[in-house]
Structure 1
């Protein structure tokens, strides 16, 4: 399933507008916070899809029955750009377990690019709900590599949610073709049509890792 959240009116669009704005995004703290807020909104939307169970809570005046999530959630992010969004998800799913994937783009002299995976840390994923966080879904190669590395190490989750702020049309189609869509849902705030030759989304937002944490060597 593919869920594009800006197809409906939502406050999320304001956060995305600020993430895109070349003036507003010059403030790293504001940029990180907008990624975090985007994660919070997406986490709320994903929470509607979980399984729930009844739980009795004792109040000072009696007892109340409430519905609470029955699923165990694991939040996984691709370093480093995924960290602020990851924190937003963790603000909502505050008892979730956490996983991290270290991956980066490596460019050859001829201009071709491949994704290099360095490290994966994860708890058991068997039967759980996995949320993989990466702000930009460009070619789809990074999130595919992260997903299969996570399940190879942690086991097969009951369902996986892929969460990105901006996706390219090519990235969306890549996910549709290379993931088991009966067990995967892609959530994105917006879909952009173009990519540069170096696989940057246009108009996109630029490099979220650099904007959040400063330029790297």
Structure 2
């Protein structure tokens, strides 16, 4: 199932517009905050799909029946660009355990590249609902690599994939390899360049959020 945030009018469109705006992007804190806000919106939307139970809540004047979440999802993110989006999800699911995965590209002389996983720390994901976030779904290769490895290690109950912007090609790739996942995407752009940049996209989300990268060591 695919949910596109910009298919309906909401304040999220303003946050996405600011993420794309080349002038507003000069403010790193605002860029991170807008990704965080989008994460909060997605968390609210995903919360509607989760399981609840009725419990009594004691007030100063009596008791009220309340539908409470049975179990918090586990929040996973791909470092480093996914961190602000992850924080937005965590602001809403504030009792969730978290998983962190780092990946990197290795470019060949031909210009083609492969994705490698470098680091992973996760709680037990067996039987759990997992929400995994990354700011951009460009080729979709990083997301597919990470999720396939998680599925190989754990019996995940349900997977939700969250991304602010995806390319059409990246989303199709991810859907093909993760057919049982639900995708929550801010906006989908048509073009993907030979260097795997989404157009119009917004540029390098990691650099815009945290500054340029030095030499990898």
TM-score interval, smaller chain: over 0.9
1:36 is the counterpart of 2:36: yes
Distance 1:149 1:120 in 2: 10
8 Å Cα contact 2:82-2:133 kept in structure 1: yes
The alpha-carbon deviation at position 106 of structure 1 amounts to 1.9
Distance 2:41 2:177 in 1: 26
> Equivalent residue for 2:68?
68
The alpha-carbon deviation at position 53 of structure 1 amounts to 0.7
Question: What SS is found at the alignment partner of 1:105?
Answer: strand
8 Å Cα contact 1:125-1:151 kept in structure 2: no
How many residue pairs end up in the alignment? 214
TM-score (norm: length of structure 1): 0.96
The alpha-carbon deviation at position 152 of structure 1 amounts to 3.1
Matches within 5 A, 1:76-91: 76-91=76-91
User: Runs ≥4 in structure 1, deviation > 4 angstroms?
Assistant: none
8 Å Cα contact 1:74-1:125 kept in structure 2: yes
Instruction: Name stretches of at least 5 consecutive residues in structure 2 with no aligned partner.
Output: none
> Equivalent residue for 2:15?
15
1:6 is the counterpart of 2:6: yes
> Equivalent residue for 1:188?
185
Task: Tell me the alpha carbon deviations over residues 118-160 of structure 1, each in whole angstroms, 9 at most, x when there is no partner.
Answer: 011111111211001001001110001111222334x122110
> Equivalent residue for 1:175?
174
1:51 is the counterpart of 2:48: no
1:200 is the counterpart of 2:200: no
TM-score (norm: length of structure 2): 0.96
8 Å Cα contact 1:120-1:149 kept in structure 2: no
> Equivalent residue for 1:125?
125
Question: What SS is found at the alignment partner of 1:199?
Answer: coil
Distance 1:8 1:200 in 2: 25
Instruction: Name stretches of at least 5 consecutive residues in structure 1 with no aligned partner.
Output: none
The alpha-carbon deviation at position 72 of structure 1 amounts to 3.2
1:94 is the counterpart of 2:105: no
Distance 2:136 2:60 in 1: 46
The alpha-carbon deviation at position 49 of structure 1 amounts to 0.7
Question: What SS is found at the alignment partner of 1:68?
Answer: strand
Alignment RMSD (CA, Å): 1.0
8 Å Cα contact 2:139-2:173 kept in structure 1: yes
> Equivalent residue for 1:157?
156
8 Å Cα contact 1:120-1:150 kept in structure 2: no
Distance 2:77 2:194 in 1: 25
